[in-house]
Amino acid sequence: MPKAIVVRRYGGADELKLEDVALGNPGPGQVRLRQGAVGVNFHDIYVRSGLYKTLALPGVPGVEAAGVIEAVGEGVTGFKAGDRAAYVTQTYGAYADTRLIDAAHLIKAPDGIDDRTLAASMVKGLTALMLTAKLRPLTARDTCLVYAAAGGVGQVLCQMARRIGARVIGVVGGADKIARARAAGCDDVILRTETDVAAEVMTLTKGRGVDIVYDSVGKDTFEASLDVLALRGHLVNFGQASGPVAPFPPSRLAAKSNAVWRPILFHFLVDPVERQAMADEFFAGVLAGAVKIEVGASFGLGEASAAHQALESGATTNSIILVP
């Protein structure tokens, strides 16, 4: 019988319970997907804890996975039984060995990338692609600042920026992360616990500042991010690890004609043609060896609670996946 991780009440990692689930055949527009690997993200922790009350309880968390289509429902075009597919969806349900999912959410997976790599990278890769190509496109003439450069999204983002040819200044929170950030493509790395980030950026850029700041930290770094922007620079706040950014007067941006973005990945995945094109561009980087995805740890589906504990504790590096 199919199994899934079910959350019946908000709380700690022990609220993730492996249960038998009724599945049935795919309905109109749906496919039944046998999942080879499932991605684990901080978003899942926020959902499980109740910080984000976006999952109806009882419910199955998880937003990304990859696998093989077992059956298709009426009206499905573009996919058939035996096809490999991956997805990122805000409708949840990924923590399962087999699931029903609307075919409209699926991304065609290339033969050269396995399920583990796909599940470990769909959110991170599409986020990095969105940041570098869909907002203010990053170019080889640009200098960018990347916070959490040794983190999951940060490493992919730095690799993509390096592939484009931009100068990359990375910010990390520990000396043990410097080498990882440099390996990901950073030309310079700033250790924020020992250095004034804004002052160091201005020194490195000879007072000019950077064209784009990719800031996933939020409240604690927003002021410095604004301060280091060059003329007509762009600040992209795509996360709030330290909390939400406080309100500020838009007139502050007028001093250098700066711009601030606060994008959400799912808004860029609505159109299936655009979504597949984004994925294909990301896949091309992986297949070319320019973007390397490393799985830091893998857990069985029934070990989802241990996977969450590992992610929350910072005990692992790189991506975490569940293998049904």
Residues 49 and 22 in one domain: yes
- Among 211, 236, 262, the domain boundary falls at 262
Residues 144 and 257 in one domain: yes
- Of all residues in the chain, what percent carry a pLDDT higher than 70? 99
Contacts with 120 (C-beta within 8 Å, 6 or more apart), sequence order: 37, 39, 293, 294, 295, 318, 319, 320, 321
Asked whether residue 26 is assigned to any structural domain, the reply reads: yes
Angle at 265 between CA 298 and CA 158, to 5 degrees: 65
Does the structure show a pLDDT above 80 at 317?
A: no
Asked whether residue 184 is assigned to any structural domain, the reply reads: yes
Q: Write the DSSP string, 231-261.
A: EEEEEEE---TT-PPPP--GGGGGGTT-EEE
Asked whether residue 157 is assigned to any structural domain, the reply reads: yes
Phi-psi category of 78—alpha, beta or left, where left has phi over 0 and alpha has psi -120 to 50?
Answer: left
Residues 118 and 7 in one domain: yes
b/e 42-53 (16+ beta carbons within 10 angstroms → b):
ebbbebbbeeee
- Across the range 80-91, mean pLDDT stands at 95
Distance in angstroms (rounded) separating the CA atoms of residues 96 and 10 = 19
What CATH number corresponds to the domain at position 154? 3.40.50.720
What is the residue-averaged pLDDT of the chain? 94
Nearest Cα residue to 250 out of 241, 262, 258, 238? 258
Asked whether residue 131 is assigned to any structural domain, the reply reads: no
- Of all residues in the chain, what percent carry a pLDDT higher than 90? 88
Judge if the upstream peptide bond of residue 58 is cis by omega within 30 degrees of 0: yes
Residues 211 and 242 in one domain: yes
CB–CB of 44/63 below 8 Å?
A: yes
What's the pLDDT score for residue 240?
Answer: 80
More confident: 174 or 314: 174
Q: Is 72 helix (H, G, I), strand (E, B) or coil?
A: strand
Does the structure show a pLDDT above 90 at 314?
A: no
- Among 226, 244, 262, the domain boundary falls at 262
Of the listed ranges 32-46, 290-304, 306-320, the one predicted with least confidence = 306-320
For the stretch 233-253, pLDDT in tens is 999 999 887 788 888 899 999
Residues 83 and 116 in one domain: yes
Does the structure show a pLDDT above 80 at 316?
A: no
Contacts with 292 (C-beta within 8 Å, 6 or more apart), sequence order: 159, 286
Question: Looking at the whole model, is its pTM more than 0.85?
Answer: yes
Report how many domains make up the chain. Answer: 2
Residues 164 and 255 in one domain: yes
Residues 213 and 300 in one domain: no
How is the chain split among helix, strand and coil, in percent rounded to 5?
A: 35, 25, 40
Look-up of token digits 């065609």? 108
Q: Which long-range contacts (CB under 8 A, 24 or more apart) does 239-245 make?
A: 239/153, 239/215, 240/216, 241/148, 241/216, 241/217, 242/217, 242/218, 243/218, 243/219, 244/218, 244/219, 245/218, 245/219
Residues 303 and 251 in one domain: no
For the stretch 201-237, pLDDT in tens is 999 999 999 999 999 988 889 999 999 999 999 999 9
Q: Domain range holding 167?
A: 136-262
Q: Write the DSSP string, 144-193.
A: EEEETTTSHHHHHHHHHHHHHT-EEEEEESSGGGHHHHHHTT-SEEEETT
For the stretch 123-174, pLDDT in tens is 999 999 999 999 999 999 999 999 999 988 999 999 999 999 999 999 999 9
Residues 10 and 115 in one domain: yes
CB–CB of 297/310 below 8 Å?
A: yes
What's the pLDDT score for residue 315?
Answer: 64
Asked whether residue 11 is assigned to any structural domain, the reply reads: yes
- Across the range 179-195, mean pLDDT stands at 95
Residues 38 and 93 in one domain: yes
For the stretch 50-59, pLDDT in tens is 988 999 999 9
Residues 28 and 78 in one domain: yes
Residues 236 and 276 in one domain: no
What CATH number corresponds to the domain at position 63? 3.90.180.10
